[in-house]
Amino acid sequence: MTPALIACSHGTSSPAGRAAISAVVDRVREMLPAIDVAEAFVDVQQPEIDTVVQRMPVGAPAIVVPLLLSTGFHTRVDIARAVAAARGPALAAPALGPHPLLAELLVKRLTEAGLGEGDAVVLAAAGSSDPAASVDVTAMAQLLAARLRRPVAVGFAAGAGVRIADAVSAVRAAGAPRVVTASYVLAPGFFADLIARAGAELHTEPLAPHDTVAEIVVERFRAALRSLSTPVAGVVRGR
């Protein structure tokens, strides 16, 4: 039996944010026409990830792909809990980032925003209390810096780490004539609004619903499918 793909995002009260995530999921359905693709959320929206996993028929396999950019509480707790309680073979794929394709998409967004030769760049992420999220965001900043061939600072809207506004102020104080924040969030909403107000001269649009996001979801699903087909450490066989 072919596993279902459960695309699990954070959830948002923003209509534009909801539309952006739904567009990604719809594009995944187009790219995987033979796969049952369901939406789930860890907060704000319904249905919750636990509910969607429990709705799966007994014995039916499932792969949860986080529509989240970094490892964090939601991947390590919410999604992991749901997968552990699955009634059939199930596993969770890694978060979407860090990923070279996301670096390329960020470069595209920066170009669209008007990034100049001497501009400083701050990768602006939502943030998390989980240290693993900071590690992932730092790795993403390094991928982006390699493509831009310039340093990329990191700032967070919440959780641990330097706040975005402070990161913007720091690179400006270091002599940058202009600062651009690269919005490392998937969709419009609360965190995207915070990034836009963080004090940079320019900021980029969120990453979704660009096709690149859907391509990474499909890649994560296919990689997890290979693992699910061959029993390996980390595969949960369900209760």
Share of residues in the chain with pLDDT > 70 (%): 95
- What lies within 8 Å, CB to CB, of 98 at 6+ separation is 70, 136, 137, 139, 140, 143
- Report pLDDT for 73: 86
**pLDDT-wise least confident of 7-11, 97-101, 125-129, 170-174:** 125-129
On whether the CB atoms of residues 13 and 44 are closer than 8 A, the answer is yes
Question: Cα angle vertex 133, ends 167, 237, to 5°?
Answer: 170
Q: Give the C-alpha distances (Å, rounded to integers) separating 22 from 128, 155, 186, 189.
A: 24, 27, 11, 14
Q: Report CA 135 to chain centroid distance, whole Å.
A: 14
Q: Read off the pLDDT band of 23 (50, 70, 90).
A: very high
Using the predicted structure, report yes or no on whether residue 203 has a pLDDT greater than 70.
Answer: yes
Q: What is the mean pLDDT of residues 19-32?
A: 98
Distance from C-alpha of 122 to C-alpha of 192, rounded to nearest angstrom? 14
d(Cα 186, Cα 197) in Å, to the nearest integer? 17
pLDDT recorded at residue 239: 30
Sign of the C-alpha dihedral, residues 220, 223, 228, 232?
A: negative
List pLDDT tens digits, range 157-172.
998 899 999 999 999 9
Q: Tell me, what's the pLDDT at 234? A: 35
* 235: pLDDT strictly greater than 60: no
Mean pLDDT of 91-108: 98
Question: pTM here?
Answer: 0.93
pLDDT value at residue 237: 34
Looking at residue 160, what is its pLDDT? Answer: 83
The answer, yes or no, to whether residue 118 has pLDDT greater than 90, is: yes
Alpha carbon distance 230, 183 (integer Å):
37
Report the C-alpha gap between 40 and 6 in whole angstroms.
Answer: 7
What is the helix (H) or strand (E) element at residue 37, kind and residue range? strand 37-41
pLDDT higher than threshold 90 for residue 143? yes
> Which domains, and CATH codes, for the chain?
4-96+210-229 (3.40.50.1400), 100-203 (3.40.50.1400)
